[in-house]
Structure 1
Amino acid sequence: MGYQEDFCSLLSSQVQRHGVDKLLEWLAGTDFFRAPASTRFHGACEQGLVMHSLNVYQAYMDRFYEEGVDNLESVTLCTLLHDLCKANYYKAGTRNVKNEATGQWEKVPTFNVEDQFPYGHGEKSVFLIERFVRLKPAEAVAIRWHMGGFDDAARGGSWAISQAYDAYPMAVKLHMADLSATYLMEKGTGRH
């Protein structure tokens, strides 16, 4: 199976909530399954976003999932959809790069941000998910704060992230799974 099939199979088999089918239908109409995960840091390639989502799921399950503590449906929902905000977010383009061997400037493919709905990162994912599927408070908080200190609000000195991590261990685990996928599993899939 490919990334899209794996993603859809996991989401539809492990999440039994009303609206999952409509969410998958909406996703199929976006670029989610073709989009990159970033412009240059990780998964900066076609299908990078769905690949990253599956890697976050795998990292969580391999490193942080605790039987009897974690809810599999919640983990699946949060890991696979944490970056839903990146659907219809990137635009393919080109940029000029100097070829070190020839000294000539060459056009190379790249991705640029073209945010059609600038609503933040984690909060935008929560908003988009909840158009179709109702989230539990722990799920919404985990998705909202999955960026940890890389989030603009956290860098601005918000105490909310500390309170979120204290109250919702899944938020910490999702952040660590996201870091593991980005910096360990996907090393070399971006343009550094």
Structure 2
Amino acid sequence: MSYKDKFLAYYKENIHREGSDRLLEWLLKTDFFTAPASTKFHCACEGGLVQHSVNVYEVMMEKHFDPEEDSAESFALCALLHDLCKAQFYKVSSRNVKNEKTGQWEKQPYYSIEDVFPYGHGEKSVFLIERFVRLSTSEAMAVRWHMGGFDDTAKAGGFAISQAYDKYPLAVKLHLSDLEATYLREHGTSSVRNR
């Protein structure tokens, strides 16, 4: 089963909130299922964004889901859509790279960023999701702060992230799942030519 097929199965099985059909319809019109998850770090390959989204969902369900306390719909919304901000965000460019064996310069593809809506990272994902589906406060906090200390606002020394993690366990669970998927499960998935 492809990552796109897994994503669609998880989405349709768990997300039934008003507007979720329209959100999925919009998502299918974007490059979400072919875009990379990054330009050079994790899943920097065609389909890397959907691969990463599925990986985060699977880690979150395996490691952090408590059926007595957690909502399967919240986990699916947050994990599958936390990086929605990366749809329509990357483009394939090319650059000249010297072939070490032949000494010749060759054009090679790479991903570059073309952010037409520079609204931040987590907050942009929340904004895009909420164009279609209403998030609970805890879901919005989880998506907003999924980057943890890698977020520019957190680096600036703000205490909002600490307060969000203290009040909303879902935010901590999403952040931990994002870290594990990125650094432990997606090792070696960083090439635009990795198709």
Q: Which TM-score band (shorter chain)?
A: over 0.9
* Other-structure match for 2:177: 177
2: distance between equivalents of 1:83 and 1:169? 19
Unaligned runs of 5+ in 1: none
1: distance between equivalents of 2:63 and 2:100? 41
* Other-structure match for 1:34: 34
- Three-state SS of the structure 2 residue aligned to 1:163 is helix
Q: Which amino acid aligns with 1:33?
A: F
Q: Which amino acid aligns with 1:77?
A: L
What TM-score, normalized to structure 1? 0.96
1:70 shift after superposition:
1.6
2: distance between equivalents of 1:156 and 1:106? 41
State the Cα RMSD in Å.
Answer: 1.1
Q: Which amino acid aligns with 2:147?
A: M
Deviation string 1:132-156 (CA, Å, 9 cap, x unpaired) is 0000000000000000011110111
* Other-structure match for 2:118: 118
* Other-structure match for 1:84: 84
2: distance between equivalents of 1:13 and 1:67? 16
* Other-structure match for 2:53: 53
* Other-structure match for 1:24: 24
1: distance between equivalents of 2:92 and 2:103? 25
Q: Does 1:107 align with 2:112?
A: no
Q: Does 1:155 align with 2:150?
A: no
Identical positions, percent: 63
Deviation string 1:35-78 (CA, Å, 9 cap, x unpaired) is 00000101111100000000000111122222212211100110
2: distance between equivalents of 1:159 and 1:13? 36
